[in-house]
Amino acid sequence: MIEVNNLGKSYDGNPVLERLNVNVKEGEFVTLVGASGCGKSTFLKMLLGTESPTSGELLLDGKPIADEPGPDRGIVFQQYSVFPHMTVLDNVMSAVGFAQRGLTGYLFGTKRKQARKDAEAMLNEVGLGHALQKYPHELSGGMKQRLAIAQALLGKPRILLLDEPFGALDPGIRADMHELVLRLWKEHKLTIFMVTHDIKEGFYLGTRLWVFDKVRQDPHAPQAFGATITYDLPVNSKARQPAAKTTAETIAPLLAEKAG
C-alpha cells in the first residue's frame, strides 16, 4: 500500500532523513523508535502531508501522497488533538459533520441523530461512555487520548498515525491504552504507524518495528548526514511478548548509546 523510494528530507540544507527505502502492506502495525531528534515525527508528518519530501518518493497506492492532510489518514498527537470548545460527544460527532460537504459542518435532523448514535457507540468502545457531556479540560490525560482516538476513528481513516500518543501517560493507564489500540486496529482493519520512545511498547504493539538512526557519522559535522531506518524487524504477533523481550534487550543498549 505504501511505498517509500529513496526518500529524503532536509531542513535548510541539513538532512534529517535520507535514503529511506521501505514498503508497507495494508493492515500492518509499524512502530517507530529512535533517538530524539532523528526524524521520526518528520517521517510521520510526510505521511500526514504537512511536510513534503525533499527527495525521493512517498507513494500511497502508487500515487504520491497528498501534500495536505486528508480523511484517509487519521492522526493522534501527544497533545492538542481534540477541540477544547466541544464536549466529548461533540468532538466525536464533529468527525461526521466534517466528513460531509457544506460550509459549516453542522448536522441536522436524522443525520444528526445517526451521528450521535455512532459517536456514542464509538465512545462506549473506548470507555468514555460516562463522560459524554464533559469538556476536554475536565478529562484526565488518558481520557483525552481515548477521546482523540475515538474522534480519529469516526473519521474512518485507512491509515492511523500516532505520534507518541501515550508519552504523557503513566504506566498503568498505558497498558489499558495498548489493549484499546490493539483491539481497534483489528476491528477497524487499520494500518498504523506509531512513534514511541518506549521500545518495549514498540515491540509489544507492532507487527513491525523500525529503528531510525544515522548510518554515516561525521564527528566534525554532526548535521552533515541524516538518519535512516537501520533495523526493520518483523515482530511475531503470536509470540509477541517473549520475542519482544529478548530482542528488546539486544536493541535497547544500542539506542541508549545513541540517545546518550
Q: By the criterion CB under 8 A, which residues form the site for another protein?
A: 48, 50, 68-71, 73-75, 77, 79-86, 94-95, 97-106, 135-137, 139, 144, 148, 151-152, 154-155, 157
Pairing of strands 227-234, 191-195: unpaired
- Identity (one letter) of the amino acid at 104? T
Q: Which three cell numbers stand for residue 64?
A: 504520491
Residue with smallest beta-carbon separation from ligand ATP: 41
CB of 152 to another protein, least distance (A): 7
Q: What is the rounded distance in angstroms from the CA atom of residue 132 to the CA atom of residue 120?
A: 8
Q: Which of 21, 28, 2 is nearest to 208 (CA)?
A: 28
CB of 189 to another protein, least distance (A): 18
Q: Which does 99 bind (CB under 5 to 8 A by kind): ligand ATP, another protein, Mg ion, none?
A: another protein
CB of 54 to ligand ATP, least distance (A): 12
User: Around Cβ 246, how many Cβ atoms within 10 Å?
Assistant: 10
DSSP 137: G
Assess 78 for contact with Mg ion (CB under 5 A).
no
Assess 41 for contact with Mg ion (CB under 5 A).
yes
Q: Please work out, in degrees rounded to the nearest 5, the angle formed at the alpha carbon of residue 165 by the alpha carbons of 117 and 98.
A: 40
3-state secondary structure of 202: helix
Q: What is the rounded distance in angstroms from the CA atom of residue 31 to the CA atom of residue 11?
A: 24
CB of 137 to ligand ATP, least distance (A): 25
The residue (of 42 and 91) whose beta carbon lies closer to Mg ion is 42
Indicate which single residue of 19, 30, 41, 228 sits in contact with ligand ATP (rule: CB under 6 A).
Answer: 41
The residue (of 31 and 145) whose beta carbon lies closer to another protein is 145
Where do contacts with Mg ion occur on this chain (CB under 5 A)?
41
